[in-house]
């Protein structure tokens, strides 16, 4: 298997699960350029140069080729995304990714079946950590390295700003997109290491489909350690678990959501 290699600085950051890259069309009379952002399987978008808004991408298929692993070669990840524009499927994007590289980027326009190919635009500018995901049509702006600000911009033009847990120097903030409250809607969380890889704090935000807003999730008063530490999602039992160290002893807190959507403590170990 041979691939032309493109290198993106986003892939040089192994702690990140989110990447943003710029692409330019190959073989078109006029260059077509867009920014492509994806968080493995969710939060993906394309934002064409000159356009005011990004376009949502929905994962269609994800495949892994690990056939060359025994010979020391990396796994190859194959993504296919469906472009959703104004509620309709209008095209398909494909990308092949392996450690620190991407290749074989294409777009198929559904209305006529025309296929476009793209190449990575090498960016010599210093990566400043600014990142965005598009989730539930909400633009989520945050910084992976250098500041603790979060800005949420909603489709109706409204916006909210939040301060995330402080990020120490030489550390990276990791983003997670999951259904944290088990209501069928994707929520978002930001993980920040605290002192060591054994301990992390979380800023979690739950999406309310009725109000089309994200609301910060916090542990109930007088429970936990205050920072949603080492948050785990138990999908089988529909509960959240936090774990933190108090002196020499580790404590676990198990939570569930009640019928009103409030987080309540059900067990402490």
Residue 116 has pLDDT above 70, yes or no: yes
For residue 146, being part of any structural domain is answered with no
Do 111 and 175 lie in a common domain? no
Look-up of token digits 């890889």: 197
- Mean pLDDT of the region 172-192: 94
Do 84 and 186 lie in a common domain? no
Do 178 and 239 lie in a common domain? yes
3-state secondary structure of 38: strand
Look-up of token digits 């990840």: 77
Handedness of CA 197, 130, 185, 106 (dihedral sign): negative
DSSP-assigned beta bridge partners for residue 135: 138
Helix ranges restricted to H, the chain: none
- Strand pairing class (173-178; 76-85): unpaired
For residue 203, being part of any structural domain is answered with yes
For residue 24, being part of any structural domain is answered with yes
Our count of domains for the chain comes to 2
pTM of the model: 0.85
Q: For residue range 163-176, what is the model confidence (pLDDT) as tens digits?
A: 999 988 778 888 99
Q: How long, in residues, is the chain?
A: 269
> Between the CA of residue 36 and those of 11, 28, 72, 101, 133, what are the distances in Å?
13, 19, 29, 14, 10
Q: For residue range 69-92, what is the model confidence (pLDDT) as tens digits?
A: 888 889 999 999 999 999 999 999
Q: For residue range 224-233, what is the model confidence (pLDDT) as tens digits?
A: 888 899 999 9
HEC secondary structure over 142-184: EECCCCCEEEEECCCCCEEEEECCCCCCCCCEEEEEECCCCCC
For residue 141, being part of any structural domain is answered with no
What are the residues whose beta carbons fall under 8 Å from the beta carbon of 248, sequence distance 6 or more?
Answer: none
- Of 120, 153, 178, the last residue of a domain is 120
CATH of the domain at 50: 2.40.160
* Residue 127 confidence (pLDDT): 67
Average pLDDT, the chain: 87
- The gap from C-alpha 197 to its chain's centroid, in whole angstroms, comes to 20
Nearest-angstrom CA–CA distance, 20 and 44 = 9
- Of 91, 120, 149, the last residue of a domain is 120
Q: For residue range 242-257, what is the model confidence (pLDDT) as tens digits?
A: 998 877 788 999 999 9
For residue 257, being part of any structural domain is answered with yes
Domain extent, residue 81, equals 9-120
Do 107 and 210 lie in a common domain? no
Contact between 107 and 82 (Cβ < 8 Å): no
Do 113 and 169 lie in a common domain? no
């Amino acid at each position: 298997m041979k691939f032309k290699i493109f290198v993106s600085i986003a892939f040089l950051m192994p702690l990140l699960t989110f990447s943003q890259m710029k692409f330019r069309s190959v073989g078109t009379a006029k260059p077509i350029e867009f920014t492509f952002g994806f968080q493995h399987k969710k939060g993906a978008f394309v934002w064409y140069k000159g356009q005011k808004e990004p376009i949502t991408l929905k994962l269609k298929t994800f495949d892994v080729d690990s056939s060359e692993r025994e010979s020391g070669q990396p796994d190859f990840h194959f993504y296919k995304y469906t472009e959703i524009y104004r509620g309709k499927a209008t095209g398909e994007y494909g990308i092949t990714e392996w450690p620190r590289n991407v290749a074989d980027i294409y777009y198929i326009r559904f209305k006529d079946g025309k296929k476009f190919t793209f190449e990575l635009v090498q960016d010599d500018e210093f990566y400043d950590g600014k990142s965005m995901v598009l989730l539930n049509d909400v633009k989520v702006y945050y910084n992976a390295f250098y500041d603790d600000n979060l800005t949420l911009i909603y489709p109706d033009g409204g916006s909210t700003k939040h301060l995330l847990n402080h990020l120490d120097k030489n550390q990276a903030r990791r983003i997670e997109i999951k259904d944290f409250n088990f209501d069928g809607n994707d929520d978002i969380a930001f993980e920040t290491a605290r002192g060591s890889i054994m301990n992390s704090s979380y800023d979690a935000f739950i999406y309310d489909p009725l109000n089309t807003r994200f609301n910060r999730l916090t542990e109930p008063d007088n429970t936990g350690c205050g920072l949603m530490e080492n948050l785990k999602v138990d999908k089988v039992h529909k509960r959240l678990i936090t774990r933190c160290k108090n002196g020499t002893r580790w404590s676990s807190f198990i939570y569930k959501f009640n019928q009103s959507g409030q987080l309540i403590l059900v067990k402490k170990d």
